[in-house]
Structure 1
Amino acid sequence: MLWTSSVVLRRDIEQHQHNLHEFVVCLKGAVSITINDESHQLLSGHSVFIPAQYQHSITTDKNTETKLLFACIAPPSFDNLSTPANSLYLKTLSKGGFLTNNLNSSSQHSTQGMQKIANELEIQPISSSPLNVCLKENLYLRLLLIHISNAGYEQQANAQSSLRMTNAQDWINNNYTMDITLDKVAKQVNLSRSHFARQFRQHTGFSFIEYLLKLRCDAVAKNLASSNTDITEIAFASGFSNLSHFYRHFKRRYGITPGAFRLMIKHQGVTLRP
């Protein structure tokens, strides 16, 4: 059986778990829901599906009034909603896929659709009549399918972003010895300077310049260890155009000067492949 309730949340809900699938739609305000130690931020019109037995807690935004719609259903009843067309999606939901739908502003139409159906479900009378049960289940299923669709779009966008950053990373790896800039790399993947910089840091853990300097310093280190080529020549060949800049960043990365690094490697008998 499907149980629904809308609640104005005025306090946090501590971590707990239960035997029901729990679907939460944020109708107003903002809330943070932690599921199995992973936090998800929900704004108005966003939703989250919490499979049965998943540990979860809810933290409210004390500065805004938060209203949530809770829809809970036992796994056997949830399975009964399955049809040949939706069975794969519902099964994915119940196993923890498509947990969140936290869309950005470009998906305003989908967000409004989610809120409209959630409001319809909220005002349904408490009744065990077959007609009322059927109506509530249909509204619930429509919410789930919008949630799945939106969550899928978000995953697709994340995958596309990840592919772009991988391509950018490959391009930098192949061209770090050249005079490359943030603007040039952003142009390679058709992103603005600021958008690329933010996504690149999220993808690699480094800013663009940190990543570029790391590549260049590591290339110098490998050449110092494997050849007797002049240090200045190696630095310029690795993409550095300013020697004081090179010495400063090399020492920052390795803790010693390039000359001391070469002596240390030779004394230790270590060979680094270029």
Structure 2
Amino acid sequence: MLVEDILKHPPAVLSGDDRDRFFDEGCLVVENAVDAGWLKRLRDAMAEMVARSREVRESDGIFVLEDGHSADNPRLRRLSSPVMHHPEFWAFASESRSADIATDVCGPDVKFYHSKLNFKWPDGGQLFDWHQDIPAWPHTDYSPVTVGIYLEDCGMEQGPLRAIRGSHKPPLHSMYDRQGNWTLRIPEEDLPVGWEDDVVSLTGAAGSAVLINCRVIHGSQANVSQRMRPMLLNVYSSADSMPYVTNPIPSPYEGAIVRGKAARFSCHDPRGCELPPDWSGGYGGPWKHQQGQSVTGSD
């Protein structure tokens, strides 16, 4: 669904000013988006998955490990597709206020695309370079939105998400480097003059939601604190938005209608989108790409 059509529907959760700010800046923090009951359920599910990771010795299709991971000292970068591995994550993605918020920025008919639980472990949870999401999973329009939930308080030291306000409006950057390798990063020298003035740190207390437009340039800082920074990220789109390529983080729930009804016609934005490598053979996540081990095909 195009923005002008989404705006014809009144918001259900966000204020009108907040929704306008999201479409103008490409990002938004919503305080108290998740209540204490849901936070406990999600934290308990997360703890179960971290405990399960103690038996894992190398990254696989479920866990992406950080250097130093061991049974005695688990250190994770990501739990891929958490909706597949614990029922509470799918219950949250489909039944909670997270999906309600998505209706305000995707329109009344919303479908689920994918999810991940990103960690930044204390003393070393690494930064995430500037990038745009949609070239990794292009759709027929630009309605896809990431609704991220901080499961613990996230201040400046915990490595919050950062975004460049308004960067969703110009043409997209390439996520390939000059040698044609897929890196999912934008070198700072390729950013427009004065970009630093538009950087916003999207900090928030536990239970805060962070909305990220699929075109906005964003990244995150390293965690230099003694506290973990887990963030659950669910991606939704308008029901009439169709993916062009294989989902890099697939699940049986891809395409599930979580609000409203299924579409009878597809929506097409006239702006094109760069296509990624073929993910049908699997996807290892962005960190490998951003550490100088770029690939030209699936990884």
TM-score, normalised with respect to structure 1: 0.23
Which protein, 1 or 2, shows the higher relative CO under an 8 Å CA cutoff with sep ≥ 6? Answer: 2
Larger Rg: 1
